[in-house]
Amino acid sequence: MLPWSHFSTEYATPLMQSINDNYNDIFYTLLNAGANIKLKDAHGRTALDYAIGTNNTEIIDKLMTMEGRK
């Protein structure tokens, strides 16, 4: 299996792209501006999927809290 970074980010939202690129400051800016965490890319992945794929535990915790999973 290819590393996460080799998967297509086709139709990724700016929020997803910020997670994929490890730009946490941009992630929080977009989140505070009202970015929708439930949108999906062309492959059906959400922002949480991107955070899990990049092993960004800070963002995983934030998104899981927002989704009521934590």
pLDDT at position 15 is 95
Q: Residue 7: inside a domain, yes or no?
A: no
Q: Residue 41: inside a domain, yes or no?
A: yes
pLDDT at position 43 is 87
Two structure tokens written together for 32: 């505070």
**CATH number of the domain enclosing 16:** 1.25.40.20
Q: Report residue 63 CA to chain centroid gap.
A: 8
Work out how many domains the chain is built from and give that number. Answer: 1
Alpha-carbon distance 17 to 50, whole Å?
A: 8
With contact defined as beta carbons under 8 Å apart, do 51 and 59 qualify? yes
Q: Residue 6: inside a domain, yes or no?
A: no
Alpha-carbon distance 69 to 30, whole Å?
A: 21
pLDDT at position 2 is 45
Q: Residue 1: inside a domain, yes or no?
A: no
pLDDT at position 10 is 74
**What pLDDT tens digit does each residue of the chain (70 aa) get?**
445 554 566 789 999 999 999 999 999 999 999 999 999 998 899 999 999 999 999 999 999 999 888 6
Domain of 24 in residue numbering reads as 12-66
pLDDT at position 1 is 41
Q: Residue 36: inside a domain, yes or no?
A: yes
The residue length of the chain stands at 70
